[in-house]
Amino acid sequence: MHHNMTLPGLESFHVTETREENGYYHIYVERPREVLPCPACQTSTQKIHDYRWQKIKHNRVFNRPTMIWYRKRRYQCHDVACRKRFDETNNLVDRYQRQSQEFNQAIGLETIHGKTFKDTAQRFGVSPTTVMRRFDTISESLLKETQHLPSIIAIDDFKGDTDGERFQTIITDPIKREPIDILKDRQKSTVYHYLKDHADTVDIVVMDMSPSYKAAVDQALNQPIIVADRFHFVRYMYWALDRVRRRVQHEFDDYDRKKCKNMRHVFMKRSSTLSAKQDWYLHHYCDKSDVLTSAYLLKEWFCDWFDNAKYLGSDALSTIKTDLYDFYDTVRASAIPEFEKAIGTLQNWQKEIMNSFGYNLHNGYIEGINNQTKVIKRQAFGFRRFDRLRRKVLLHHKYKDIQGQMA
C-alpha cells in the first residue's frame, strides 16, 4: 500500500512503507514502472530483469537519522541481438554513491557556511574525509576562476599558514564589497604575474603601505592610481607615540614605570573620549615628561587633521595638503626622533595618502574579511592545503546568505 507522503528528493518515487527502528527512520521507496530506451541499441523496453535493494543515507526526517531503502529495477533489452541489462534512471542517488543527492547537497551547504569539516562530519554521521571530498567536488563546480578584474580593486595580506607559506594575499572589489581571489603568498613576483594576467582594466588599487605591493602594482599596471589605506598611515602616529612612551617611562620610578605601561591605552585614546580617571592618569604622566606631552599633542593634532580631511574630502585637497605641511613643520620643531621618522614615511607615501581623501576609498571591507578568515582558520585549527583554504574563504563569503538547495 503506497503512503500519501511527499519528501524533498522523493517526488518521483512511491513510498511503500515507513517505520522507525533502532533510532533510525526507514523509508522504503520505488519508482513507477516505465518504458525506457536501451542505452546500447536505443530499443524501448519495459521488461524487468530483476530487483535489488539499495540502502541510501538521507537527510534527517522528523529530526531522526534516516535511511532510504530503494527497490531498484534492472531492465532488459527486448532485442534478441542485444539483451543488455541496465538500471532504471533516478534522481535520488548518483552512481556508485551510498548517500542521496539531497544528503550531499546538505553537506555542501554546511561546509560553505563556515562549519569545520570535522563538525559537519559529526553532525551528518560520516567521516571527515567524506566531507572534504564532497567540499572539493562542490567547490570546484561553484567557484569560477577570475578572468578580468574590475576597475577598482583592494589588496591586502592575511596570515593563512598553508603549503609552507605564512601569509597569503587577498584581492577584493571594494565597490561591490565582495572577495575576488586569494593568492598563495604575498611575494612581489606572485602579485605581479597575477595582475599582469588579470588586471588589464584596473585603474585604481587600494592597498596598505607595502613596498613590495606598490612595486608589483606599478610594474604590472603601468603606474595606476594607488590609494593608501587610512588605517595603515594613521597608525604610524600611534606607533610613534607608543615608542616615545616606552622610551620616557624608563626614567620614572619603578611603580610609575609599571603603571604607565599598564595605562598605555590612555595615550592611544582621543582626549575627548577619556573618562575622568583616564584623564587624571594622562595628565599625571605627561606632567612628568615634556617630551611625552609633546608627543601626545602631536598625535592629537594629526588625528584632528585626519578628521578634518575626511570631512572636507575631495573638494579641498589643497587645504588638506597645506595643513599636513604645517604638521610636518611642527614635528620637525619638536625634534622628537620617533615622530620625525614617522613623517618621513608619510612623505614617501604622500601622493597615495592624498588619494585616499580624493577618491574616498579604504580597505575597511577587506580587513573585515580578514577577521572572518581568522575565525574560519581558528575553528578548523588551520588548513594544510592552500586550495582548500582559498575555496573555503571565497565560497563562505560568496554563498554566506544562501539558504536553499545547491546544484
Same domain, 238 and 342: yes
Cell of 352: 597615495
Residue 91 belongs to some domain of the structure: yes
CA 144/CA 204 separation, integer angstroms: 24
61-67 contacts, C-beta under 8 A, 24 or more apart: 61/7, 61/25, 61/27, 62/25, 64/20, 64/23, 64/24, 64/25, 65/23, 65/24, 65/25, 65/125, 66/24, 66/25, 66/26, 66/27, 67/24, 67/25, 67/26, 67/27
Residue 326 belongs to some domain of the structure: yes
Structural domain boundaries, residue 198: 152-229+363-374
pLDDT in tens, 294-310: 999 999 999 999 999 99
- The DSSP annotation for 193-254 comes to HHHHHH-TT--EEEE-S-HHHHHHHHHHHTS-EEEE-HHHHHHHHHHHHHHHHHHHGGGS-H
Question: Given pLDDT bands bounded at 50, 70 and 90, which one contains residue 407?
Answer: very low
Task: Give the residue from 32, 64, 98 where a domain finishes.
Answer: 98
Same domain, 77 and 193: no
Q: For residues 179, 183, 184 and 189, what is the CA-based torsion angle, rounded to 10 degrees?
A: -160
Instruction: Indicate the number of domains in the chain.
Output: 3
Same domain, 177 and 270: no
Same domain, 207 and 283: no
Which secondary structure element, helix H or strand E, spans residue 366, and what is its range?
A: helix 364-379
pLDDT in tens, 322-358: 999 999 999 999 999 999 999 999 999 999 999 999 9
Same domain, 48 and 168: no
Residue 144 burial class via C-beta count within 10 angstroms: exposed 0-12, middle 13-18, buried 19 and up: exposed
Residue 105 belongs to some domain of the structure: no
Same domain, 285 and 199: no
Cβ atoms of 151 and 203 within 8 Å: the answer is yes
Please give the pLDDT value at position 405.
Answer: 46
Cβ atoms of 13 and 31 within 8 Å: the answer is yes
Same domain, 186 and 257: no
CA 157/CA 209 separation, integer angstroms: 12
Cβ atoms of 106 and 73 within 8 Å: the answer is no
CA 337/CA 11 separation, integer angstroms: 76
Q: For residues 373, 377, 380 and 383, what is the CA-based torsion angle, rounded to 10 degrees?
A: 120
Please give the pLDDT value at position 396.
Answer: 84
Please give the pLDDT value at position 109.
Answer: 81
Residue 263 belongs to some domain of the structure: yes
**What number of residues does the chain have?**
407
Query: With b meaning 16 or more CB within 10 Å and e meaning fewer, what string describes 293-326?
Result: bbbbebbebbbebbeebeeeeeeeeeebeebbee
Same domain, 324 and 254: yes
Task: Give the residue from 34, 67, 98 where a domain finishes.
Answer: 98
Cβ contacts of residue 26 below 8 Å, gap of 6+? Answer: 17, 18, 19, 20, 66, 67, 68, 69
Q: What is the pTM of this model?
A: 0.79
Strands 64-76 and 48-61: antiparallel
pLDDT in tens, 138-185: 888 888 888 889 999 999 999 999 888 999 999 999 998 889 999 999
Please give the pLDDT value at position 63.
Answer: 85
Same domain, 246 and 222: no
Task: Give the residue from 359, 382, 399 where a domain finishes.
Answer: 359
Strands 152-162 and 24-30: unpaired
Residue 199 belongs to some domain of the structure: yes
Query: 8 pLDDT exceeds 80?
Result: no
DSSP state of 91: S
Please give the pLDDT value at position 125.
Answer: 87
Same domain, 273 and 349: yes
CA 131/CA 329 separation, integer angstroms: 61
Same domain, 207 and 92: no
Cell of 15: 513510498
Query: 314 pLDDT exceeds 80?
Result: yes
Please give the pLDDT value at position 3.
Answer: 56
Cβ contacts of residue 296 below 8 Å, gap of 6+? Answer: 241, 267, 282, 286
Residue 118 belongs to some domain of the structure: no
Question: Given pLDDT bands bounded at 50, 70 and 90, which one contains residue 404?
Answer: very low
Q: For residues 248, 249, 254 and 260, what is the CA-based torsion angle, rounded to 10 degrees?
A: 160
Same domain, 219 and 280: no
CA 60/CA 77 separation, integer angstroms: 38
Cβ contacts of residue 258 below 8 Å, gap of 6+? Answer: none
Residue 25 belongs to some domain of the structure: yes
Residue 131 belongs to some domain of the structure: no
Cell of 317: 585637497
